[in-house]
Structure 1
């Protein structure tokens, strides 16, 4: 697989290293000659080139027309958007992925046809939340190919899930797959008759379009009887 990465920063460097170690052909486009020299010393020759990833001449020299995957990973959303649009519209690259530096730009990318974006700050925030008991709901993984997300749900004392069966909760309708971990045990699949207890942890696969609806249902704390 031939992968082109625009941006030789931390993300571009570690991603290219992993891909090269996995046996893929990789080219990193980076405007800073010092970064290019450093990466070639560490990753090998012919793995980088000096250039701007949103310039047609540079993309032609990089052979974008034969790329299987194109990743724009600079620190500027406008550059990532321009590079991805060129790769998608002019060069017809099958898979185009953009690093998203500002979450509020996600809708702009999608409106312009860039469906696959990675928001590092959002991923970091959600992973922190998954480790903190005070947050009962956290998104931990995006399954881009099927437009699904993996979410973690903690059943806390004031959760509307306590003492309910799966079939009595929105999980039966919104979650495509649910596993339950109780008292630190390995997660096990559940059925509609599984009754939830305080302290349970659920791992669910949910359509991206349904994540906020599920979060909304679970945030409705029932008043004490």
Structure 2
């Protein structure tokens, strides 16, 4: 998957490295030349480029038309929103393309929602999630809130779990819940089909209704 990251910030280096290690093609852009140079020193010249991130022709130049994801992590909400709007306009006929944006100021969250940004991550929520992950009490991580009383969560399948070694098609999730990503114990993404097998140690990323979180957790972590 070709993924474009907009903005060189504290999370950019780790994010790009992680996505690259999973086999994705990652390209980072920023309108700050010094930031790009620092990232290139860390990960090589091919990792990114200094361009005007808010310019349509710049996005076309780096191959936005073959990208499946654009992740805007700039410290400027104005830049993140603008680049997502431009990208969505370019990719309006590609239903597989998604924009993910970090919102630095909570007061701007609604503005991103109004403009139909696909996934919105609030900086405050990310910090809370990071702290929660550092001291987990059970194998569930609440990644981010979503519109319509939904949430993106992560659940790790325990050893000897009831759903371990079952086909994904045989697991009946609560209404409104859907699995969006499965990461195996080696950190690799699993292709999700009806014949995909859930194994112990798999990390399941799914969207669920808020009132179904406990039910989903009980279902996926029940022991034999």
- 8 Å Cα contact 1:54/1:79 also seen in 2: yes
Query: What's 1:97 paired with?
Result: 100
Distance 2:175 2:25 in 1: 40
Structure 2 equivalent of residue 182 of structure 1? none
CA RMSD, Structure 1 to Structure 2 (Å):
3.3
Contact 2:121-2:144 at 8 Å conserved across structures: no
Distance 2:89 2:52 in 1: 18
- 95-104 vs 118-127, which deviates more? 118-127
User: What TM-score, normalized to structure 1?
Assistant: 0.59
Q: How far apart are 1:52 and its partner, in Å?
A: 2.3
Q: 1:209 to 1:58 in 2, by over 3 A?
A: same
Q: Which residue of 1 aligns with 2:38?
A: 38
Rounded to whole Å, the distance in 2 between the matches of 1:116 and 1:41 is 30
Unpaired runs of 5+ in structure 1?
A: 134-138, 152-172, 177-204, 212-225
Quickly say closer, same or farther: Cα 1:210–1:109, change in 2 above 3 A. Answer: farther
Distance 1:121 1:60, change over 3 A: same
* Residue correspondences, number: 157
Conservation of the 8 A alpha-carbon contact between 2:8 and 2:74? yes
Q: Does 1:142 pair with 2:144?
A: yes
Please say which structure displays the higher CA radius of gyration. 1
Give, in whole Å, the separation in 2 of the partners of 1:23 and 1:128.
28
Task: Please say if residues 174 and 210 of structure 1, whose CA atoms lie closer than 8 Å, have aligned partners that are also in contact.
Answer: no
User: Could you tell me how far apart the structure 2 residues matched to 1:106 and 1:208 are?
Assistant: 20
Structure 1's 86 and 206: CA in aligned 2 closer, same or farther, altered over 3 A? closer
Taking a change above 3 Å as real, the CA distance of residues 210 and 105 of structure 1, as seen in their structure-2 partners, is farther
The equivalent residue for 1:65 is 65
TM-score in terms of structure 2 length: 0.59
Give the 3 Å change call, closer, same or farther, for CA 29–76 of structure 1 in structure 2. Answer: same
Aligned to 1:110: 113
Residues 132 and 67 of structure 1, relative CA distance in 2, 3 Å threshold: closer
Q: Structure 2 regions of 5+ residues with no counterpart?
A: 155-173, 178-205, 213-224
Q: SS in structure 1 opposite 2:18?
A: helix
- The structure-2 alpha-carbon separation of the partners of 1:127 and 1:12, relative to structure 1 and needing over 3 Å to count, comes to closer
Give the secondary-structure state (helix, strand or coil) at the position aligned to 2:54.
coil
What is the distance in 1 between the residues matched to 2:18 and 2:127?
A: 20
Once the two structures are TM-superposed, the CA of residue 60 in structure 1 deviates from its matched residue by 1.4
Instruction: Give the drift of 1:9.
Output: 1.4
Summarize deviations over 1:152-182 as a string: whole Å, max 9, x none. Answer: xxxxxxxxxxxxxxxxxxxxx9997xxxxxx
